[in-house]
Amino acid sequence: MPFEPLVTAVIETTLNTLIQDNPDLVRRLARLKGRVIQLHLKELNKTLTFVFSQQVDVLARYEGQPDCYLSLHLSILPELREQSNITRLIKQDKLVLEGDIQLAQKFAQLMTDSKPNVEEWLSRVTGDVVAHTVVQGVKEVSGFLHEHFARHQSHLGQVLTEEWRMAPPPLEIADFCDQVDEVKSRAARLEAQLQQLMDRV
């Protein structure tokens, strides 16, 4: 199977599954029925076309004219939810938008809100109690690892500044900056006094 049809099939299947799992997303999909959006992803230099009906069809090739064309980095997509961001992104050359701005916003909202509810999916296989326990356990482990990493980062900073003296501590940097400012002001005063003496002579 060629690569492009495989990628579009995976995106299409995943997106439709996520939408069907959420009644709010199903209602939003109905409001996009009959519309076509082309999305050019700058990271991959690829264009995907989203055709909305009772479901979302994702195409690698499309001959017709889309209702809206977007060219952007994928990380920019969530920012399109706010119209004020769209103008700013266009001015910053981070976004090319041709066509219906409101359609772009609705598309961005649908895409960014189509997130998997892992606990819900897991509960279908294991039951509610096990799914909740597993998800909470993963969150706790993740939180522990994040805290552990932050502690090690702080400890490394202390070792570098206090024990190994590879980097000066923040107070020393502040004191050095104060001394530099003092030297500058003294030099300015001396220069002014010297200028006065020269004027008198």
Same domain, 171 and 99: no
Q: 56-59 and 46-52 as β-strands: parallel, antiparallel, unpaired? A: antiparallel
* Residues 140-183: tens digit of each pLDDT: 766 666 776 777 677 666 666 666 555 566 777 778 888 888 88
Q: For residue 55, what is the domain's CATH number?
A: 3.30.1050.10
φ, ψ at 54 (rounded to 5°): -70, -15
- Same domain (yes/no): 102, 189: no
Residue 48, φ and ψ in degrees, nearest 5: -115, 140
> Among 62, 81, 116, which residue terminates a domain?
116
d(CA 131, CA 118) in angstroms, rounded, equals 8
Residue 121 placed within a domain: no
Same domain, yes or no: 192 and 94: no
Question: Are 20 and 49 in a shared domain?
Answer: yes
- Whether residues 38 and 65 share a domain: the answer is yes
- Number of domain units in the chain: 2
Strand-pair category, 68-72 with 36-41: parallel
CA-to-CA distance for 144 and 67, rounded, in angstroms? 47
Q: Is residue 140 located within the same domain as residue 169?
A: yes
26 and 54 share one domain: yes
At 43-85, the pLDDT tens digits run 888 899 999 999 999 998 999 899 999 998 888 888 887 877 8
Q: Where in the sequence is the domain holding 151, given as residue range(s)?
A: 126-200
Q: Which helix (H) or strand (E) holds 186?
A: helix 170-200
For β-strands 56-59 and 68-72, DSSP reports them as unpaired
C-alpha–C-alpha distance, residues 184 and 178, integer Å: 10
Q: What is the pLDDT of residue 165?
A: 58
Is the pLDDT score of 131 beyond 60? no
Check whether residue 67 and residue 103 sit in a common domain. yes
Q: Cα–Cα distance between 120 and 11 in angstroms, integer? A: 20
* Residues 33, 129 contacting (CB under 8 angstroms): no
Q: Are 92 and 50 contained in the same domain?
A: yes
